[in-house]
Structure formats: C-alpha cells, structure tokens
A and B are shown apart, each in its own frame.
Chain A
Amino acid sequence: MTEDIRALSAQYAADPSSLVFLRLGEALRQRGQLEPALKIALAGLNRYPHLPDAHDLYARILADRRDYASAFDEWDTALRLAPHHLGAHKGIGFLYYRAGEPEHALYHLRVAAELDPGDEGLRAAVERVAGGREIWDVPLPVAPPTRDAETRVAPAPAAGDPFTGVEGAGQRLLLVDRDGLRLGGALAARGGRDVSEEAAASLAGVVQEAARAARLLELGEWDHLTIEGTELSACLLCPTADTSLLATMDPGNPAGQLAFYAERGAKEARAWLERAR
C-alpha cells in the first residue's frame, strides 16, 4: 500500500537530508507520479551517491519510464555497492528476462528468492523463468553465469560466417578488418535495407579516433563505444587487434545488454578467426 504522500512530503520538507526521500520517491512512483518521483530520487542520490537504496529507487523509476538502459546501470551500481541487495537483484532479473537472457534472469531472481524466501510472487517468477525445469533442488551458483552460458550451442559455422547460429546474425552483427573489408555478418537498417558495406567503410575511422581519444585523454585502453541513435543503438568493439565488430539493437534496450551482445559476437568472431588461421 502506498504511504501518505502528504505526510511524507511534510517530513521531507522539514528535513531534506533525511532518508525519508526513499519512502516519498517510492510512494510517488507507485502512484504513477514519475516526474516528481524522479526529482526526489535524483536529489537523494546526489546527497547519498553511495546509498544502494537510492540507486534502487532511481532504477525503479527509470524502469517505469521504460528507460531500461539507465535502469540496468543503476541496479548494477546498487549491486556493486551491496551485492545482496534484494531490489537490485529483482530489477536486474526482470531486465535480463525482458532482454531474452533467461539464465542470467534466473540467477538474479533466485538470489532474490533466497534473500526473501517468503515472497511467493518471486518464487513463481523463478519457476516461470525456469520454464518447467526443476529448479529448487539445483544449487544456486556462487556467481552469475559466464557469458558463454547463453551462447547458443551452434554447429561450427560451415557456411563461413562467424555468426552462424547466433541470434540476429544476418542483421545485427558485422565483422570488418582494419581496411574496412567485410569479413562476416551483416547489418540491416530498420526497414531491412542491407547497409553492411556502407557501415564497414566507416568503422576503421571510428576505431582509430576512439583509440586516439582514449590515449590522449589518458583514459587507458578503450574497451567499447556505444552510440544511441534515433533508429538503433550500436556498440563497436575490437574482437582482435586487426578487426572491429559493430552490433546493433533497438533503442531502449539496456546499454549493458547491447555491450553484452557485442561481446558474444566478439567471442564468436575470435573463435572463427582462430579456425580460419
């Protein structure tokens, strides 16, 4: 049941530095008043940037606003600050499930169910994600699944494409060499038009500029570059020193999910290159 917003607002006004912002923000969120909830959460987060509950509150509001990329990052931050944070495990579990990563969803939801064994809804969610598998007798892993866990078990890519068998292979993953020559995969625009060759020609320039910027700004070696576009989101990384890979997803997916997907593509690409050499 939502708390009395008027009473909570009065408490908050009397002492803005108190932790009542957590209850007020949540009450506003539950009433669907997302804008005022967001203001309260951000004010609290600025005051208590290391408070996991503040990140959790902010993430829930972001998720309600369908800003799943930011929500993912905030729950991830909450878990870094407090690895046993119930709300963050539930939230990340939900996002993984939504993104079609059932094994990761299952791990986080099971951790949450262990933290709150009386939550019947949570137990039901775990069983639903498990898809009928007997789950409760299986020991909970001590860590989230490795990135390999959700890679499809695909036959060796006999067709010569590095991404054979990987979801979105023909539309959302492109592997290019340092000269902009397409090695495998393909990219499609939202309408289905093949843009692989055009994109391939631009990748080397972006890779060079990213490396240069990271070096000159003393940020260390660059890892990946994400672009949130109006049509798609894209993630660029280098599976090997002489190749680059571009992965795309619909905008609105968590940035972490896109990077995760790109990493899976990079792993397939490395294996394929290894076999080819």
Chain B
Amino acid sequence: MTEPYAAPLDSLTRLRGIRGAMVVAAQDGLVVAESLMGGVKGTALAAMAANLAARVTELSVRAAVGGPRFVHLQAQDGSLLVAPAAEDLLLVAVAGRDVPLGLIRLEMLRLAERLA
C-alpha cells in the first residue's frame, strides 16, 4: 500500500462493518491505495466511486448544494461512502448493513481532512 495512506486506511478498515477502504484519483478513478477485505473488487470500486462522485459534484453545483463533503449511497445490503479529500483524491469505503454509520462518517471526514 502507498505509504502515506497506509495508516489512515488501516484505521478506517478497523471500524466495525467496513469491508474495504481506498484512496482513489477523482479524475480517472485509478486506485491510489487500498485496504480491502476478500471479495471486494478494488478497481471496480474505485471506478464506481469516481464516476458517482463526478455526477454528484455536477449535481451539487447545479442544485447549489455547495461542494460535497460526504456522500452516502445506501443500498439494501450495504453502503458506498465517499469523502472528497485533497482536490483530486477521494476517500472511499464500502460498509455492510447495520453499521455505526455515524462513527464511520466522522472517521472518514477526519481522515479526508488529514489527507487534504
């Protein structure tokens, strides 16, 4: 794993319910660093997160929501969580069902701030 991101990603994946966490290049969806559990497809996750973040950013501008700080896609069996970090980086996590999302959100915001 890329050294500067190893500790933040490890601290995130230690939280209950997190299946995987990544740092992703926002522009092209490439993996910068990852800490994933078995079964999570890193490249797909990175690409999906970057595409979604791009669409959300466009909507945020048009709907005057302001720059997105945190994005949460809730699905039946889990969540995709994205926190923009530095200008061109995204902190991404996949969580299972019934997880302490408040705690995970707070940790992601803290880590994203640190990566910025």
B102 in contact (CB, < 8 A): yes
Cβ contact within 8 Å between B63 and A220: no
CB < 8 Å neighbour of B75 from A42, A72, A223: A223
Contact with A along B92-113 (1 / 0, CB 8 A): 0010001011110110000000
CA distance A46 to B93 in the complex (A): 18
What's the minimum C-beta distance from B46 to chain A, rounded to whole angstroms? Answer: 11
Cβ contact within 8 Å between B103 and A231: no
CB < 8 Å neighbour of A189 from B64, B70, B76, B80: B64
A103 in contact (CB, < 8 A): no
Cβ contact within 8 Å between B56 and A73: no
B114 in contact (CB, < 8 A): no
A190 in contact (CB, < 8 A): yes
Q: Which B residues are CB-close (under 8 A) to A229?
A: 60, 65-69
Contact with B along A209-232 (1 / 0, CB 8 A): 110111011111111111111111
What's the minimum C-beta distance from B73 to chain A, rounded to whole angstroms? Answer: 5
Cβ contact within 8 Å between A221 and B75: yes
Q: Which B residues are CB-close (under 8 A) to A232?
A: 63-66
CB < 8 Å neighbour of A203 from B59, B76, B98, B102: B59
Q: Which residue of B lies closest to A187 (CB)?
A: B63
Cβ contact within 8 Å between B62 and A209: no
CA distance A231 to B60 in the complex (A): 9
Which residues, 235 to 277 on A, are CB-close (under 8 Å) to B? 236, 246, 248, 255, 259
Q: Which residue of A lies closest to B60 (CB)?
A: A229
Cβ contact within 8 Å between B51 and A213: yes
Cβ contact within 8 Å between B106 and A70: yes
Cβ contact within 8 Å between A234 and B73: no
Chain B interface secondary structure, helix, strand, loop or mixed?
mixed
Q: When A67-B106, A213-B73 are in contact, do A227 and B65 touch as well, CB less than 8 Å?
A: yes
CA distance A62 to B80 in the complex (A): 23
Which residues, 173 to 220 on A, are CB-close (under 8 Å) to B? 187, 189-190, 193, 195, 198-199, 201-203, 205-206, 209-210, 212-214, 216-220
Q: Which A residues are CB-close (under 8 A) to B76?
A: 219-223
What's the minimum C-beta distance from A22 to chain B, rounded to whole angstroms? Answer: 16
CB < 8 Å neighbour of B103 from A74, A80, A225, A226: A74
What's the minimum C-beta distance from A27 to chain B, rounded to whole angstroms? Answer: 21
What's the minimum C-beta distance from A55 to chain B, rounded to whole angstroms? Answer: 7
Cβ contact within 8 Å between B75 and A214: yes
CA distance A42 to B49 in the complex (A): 27
A71 in contact (CB, < 8 A): yes
Cβ contact within 8 Å between A227 and B59: yes
What's the minimum C-beta distance from A270 to chain B, rounded to whole angstroms? Answer: 19
Q: Could you jot down 14 A-B contacts, CB within 8 Å?
A: A69-B102, A74-B102, A206-B59, A209-B48, A213-B52, A217-B48, A217-B94, A219-B94, A220-B78, A221-B76, A222-B74, A225-B73, A228-B69, A232-B65
* Known A213-B48, A225-B73, A236-B59; further 12 A-B contacts with Cβ < 8 A: A45-B100, A46-B15, A70-B105, A74-B100, A202-B58, A206-B56, A214-B80, A225-B56, A229-B60, A231-B64, A248-B65, A255-B101
